[in-house]
Structure 1
């Protein structure tokens, strides 16, 4: 069973291609399941589209869902298409996001922390002038938010849980017990984490999360899934077989995808 649950398209403003382009790419690569999971609008914002280069507008979300539903039927004999979204998580803004996701027939929701102390984690300028203590504070807040997102019950999957290192690899070298605490919380909540292969396109040059983190995740019985986080159709399913083999080496026996917010476990 081959699947990819994390990809984007042109609605978000920083990816290329239509939803159908990604589905067709998945078919060419002989995937069995393709989940569409573009960036959620900023539902808590008073503005319709506060960040045009990051997410779709609030008013576009219903059309996004409907387009996936139509394509799901169009390609029903070729591939299973799942309805998902990559949702930002803000601890003090859960209600408007919950309201939207409850309105639609979602198969899964990926919860990702992209902002810490109101600054995007991929903004390289945020690290300027920081010493190790400052970096540790940001890292601890990042993992505190991930732990809260797991506890919220809003998400089936947690996205790229060590993406803080994406454009700042040194962040991975800063030690803090918050990482271990967060993995324990995720395991207790039973939320899946994704192996996200887009990290190889960033400065860190490797998948999210690291092998070391996956070993600790296994210790805490954290379920895993797969997502390429493709922003161009050509990356759909990238490194899927390599990830499968790595997970088996680490000790995992299965990974999962979701239908109608329920996990489907698949042997590796």
Structure 2
């Protein structure tokens, strides 16, 4: 199993040390783990690494790599926030630290005359002004050249009808392959609440993201796919990855990838079987 999106206590709203996450991932059958705590940013400092913590964060990852060598491959990542005007800050971090994997995600959207909108504030997601800006920001993220993958691009499905998300996403789909940015299949959608249709009531146990409608179009356009649990607790290490792949395989998904040294490595879905078949790795 590959888990390319995971968090520790360094993200502030997550729990568990690097060591605890690694041990839980081994127990869950993860063979390649990328730790991707939320990178420092100019917004919402209480929900991410601080710049002063980065050296300690990477040192913890290196200690775990040494301690569990031969049991699991551990890779260094960060989940960056993308907002207009943030490129210079994010580029500075990328220039200072050697990463295996850089996720670019949209968590915050500025709306005129309103408090900063956050993607977990479900009742705010369906507004036209929010959607217009979110997809404009996604377009900019895909073209900025900083990131290896987009994190949970379809998280809006927690509160927005799929046909609306699909209509707005379709013009952007060719950009994933064109700019070499992978589309993340984020398994946390299997664990998160959604708004009941036509209601402000949150319900559990409903598939929200990733989008099953968008996936075949992405495959046809030549997009690559990463996959991750988005665990914020060691108890969720690797959670949902196998069921997600089982669900998406009939839709045409044949391979996923991970990144090592910012280079994409593609693997066939057979790699995820309990006794993985021998396959070639395509390194781009």
TM-score, normalised with respect to structure 1: 0.88
Greater mean deviation of Cα atoms: 199-208 or 221-230: 199-208
Task: Report the CA distance between 1:188 and its aligned residue.
Answer: 1.6
- Seen in structure 2, the aligned counterparts of structure 1 residues 259 and 175 have a Cα distance that, compared at 3 Å, is closer
Contact 2:157-2:165 at 8 Å conserved across structures: no
Is the aligned partner of 1:19 residue 2:12?
A: no
Shift of 1:143: 1.7
Matched position secondary structure for 1:153? coil
| In 1: Cα distance, 2:240 partner to 2:120 partner | 23
Residue aligned with 1:241, SS:
helix
Which of 143, 147, 165 is residue 135 of structure 2 equivalent to? Answer: 143
Q: Distance in 1 between matches of 2:81 and 2:66?
A: 28
In structure 2, how many angstroms separate the alpha carbons of the residues matched to 1:212 and 1:161? 14
Structure 2 match to 1:259: 260
> Are 2:87 and 1:94 aligned?
yes
Moved over 6 A (4+): none
Q: Secondary structure at the match of 2:129?
A: helix
Which consecutive unaligned segments of at least 5 residues does structure 1 have?
none
Aligned residues: 253
Q: Contact 1:7/1:228 (CA < 8 Å) preserved in 2? A: yes
Alpha-carbon distance in structure 1 between the residues aligned to 2:124 and 2:60 = 37
Conservation of the 8 A alpha-carbon contact between 1:195 and 1:207: no
Whether 1:192 and 2:182 are equivalent positions in the alignment is yes
Q: 2:119 aligns with which of 118, 121, 125?
A: 121
Q: Is the 8 A contact 1:40 1:85 kept in 2?
A: yes
Question: Could you tell me whether the CA contact under 8 Å between 1:196 and 1:207 is conserved in 2?
Answer: no
Q: Is the 8 A contact 2:103 2:149 kept in 1?
A: yes
For 1:227, the equivalent position in structure 2 comes to 228
Shift of 1:175: 5.7
CA RMSD in angstroms, aligned pairs only = 1.9
CA contact (8 A) 2:7 2:14 kept: yes
Q: Residue deviations 1:160-209, cap 9 Å, x none?
A: 0111233x2x3535367431012122222121111111112222332532
SS at match of 2:30: coil
- For the pair 1:56 / 2:46, whether they are aligned, the reply is no
Report the TM-score when normalising by structure 2. 0.83
